[in-house]
Amino acid sequence: MTRKPVFAVLGAGNGGFCMSADLTLRGFEVRLFELPAFAHTIDPIIERGGIALRGVVGEGFARPTMVTTDIEAALGGADAVMVVAAAMGHGAIARECAPFLEENQVVVLCPGSCGGLLAFRHALRMEGFNKKIILAETASLMYAVKKESANRVWARGRKHNLTVGALPKDKTAAVLELLSPAYPLFEAAPNILDVTLSNLNNITHPAPALTNIGFIEGSCLDEWLFYTDGMTPGAGRLADQLDRERLAVMRAYGLNGASSVELIRRFYGHQGMKGNNFFEYFHDSPIHRKTKGPRSTRDRLITEDISYGLVPMAAFGDVAGVPTPTMDAFITLAEVVNEADYRKSGRTLEKMGLSGMDVNDIIGLVNNGY
pLDDT given for residue 326 in this prediction: 98
CATH (domain of 174): 3.40.50.720
Give the CA distances from residue 244 to residues 188, 200, 275, in Å, rounded to whole numbers and listed in that order.
Answer: 23, 13, 17
One-letter amino acid for residue 244 of the chain? R
Query: For the chain, what is the domain count?
Result: 2
Coil, strand, or helix at residue 263? helix
Please report whether residue 64 resides in a domain: yes
Instruction: Kindly tell me the burial class for residue 40, based on how many C-beta atoms sit within 10 Å of its own C-beta (0-12, 13-18, 19 or more).
Output: exposed
Q: Are residues 163 and 258 in the same domain?
A: no
Q: Are residues 216 and 347 in the same domain?
A: yes
Please report whether residue 1 resides in a domain: no
Alpha-carbon distance 347 to 163, whole Å?
22
**202 backbone dihedrals φ, ψ, rounded to 5°:** -70, -20
Please report whether residue 48 resides in a domain: yes
Q: Are residues 130 and 228 in the same domain?
A: no
pLDDT given for residue 30 in this prediction: 98
Residue 258 carries which DSSP code? P
pLDDT given for residue 1 in this prediction: 60
Choose one of 163, 196, 229: the last residue of a domain. 196
pLDDT given for residue 259 in this prediction: 92
Q: Are residues 36 and 52 in the same domain?
A: yes
Please report whether residue 293 resides in a domain: yes
**Tell me: the pLDDT tens digits for 264-308?**
888 998 888 888 999 998 888 888 888 999 999 999 999 999 999
Please report whether residue 112 resides in a domain: yes
Choose one of 196, 225, 248: the last residue of a domain. 196
Alpha-carbon distance 364 to 367, whole Å?
5
Rounded-to-5 percentages of helix, strand, coil across the chain: 45, 15, 40
Q: Are residues 51 and 184 in the same domain?
A: yes
Give the residue from 302, 313, 281, 301 showing the smallest Cα distance to 157: 281
Coil, strand, or helix at residue 108? strand
Give the residues of the chain that fall short of pLDDT 50.
Answer: none
Alpha-carbon distance 277 to 240, whole Å?
7
One-letter amino acid for residue 256 of the chain? N
Range of the domain at 326: 201-368
Coil, strand, or helix at residue 190? coil
CATH (domain of 220): 1.10.1040.10
Q: Are residues 45 and 129 in the same domain?
A: yes
Specify whether 40 is catalytic.
no
Specify whether 90 is catalytic.
no
Q: For residue 213, give every residue at least 6 positions away whose Cβ sits within 8 Å of its Cβ, in sequence order, or none.
A: 297, 337
Give the residue from 134, 145, 140 showing the smallest Cα distance to 80: 134
pLDDT given for residue 2 in this prediction: 67
pLDDT given for residue 218 in this prediction: 87
Alpha-carbon distance 297 to 35, whole Å?
25
Please report whether residue 2 resides in a domain: no
The one catalytic residue among 90, 122, 205, 288: 205
Beta carbons of 135 and 4 less than 8 angstroms apart: no
Alpha-carbon distance 140 to 288, whole Å?
15
Model confidence, pTM: 0.94
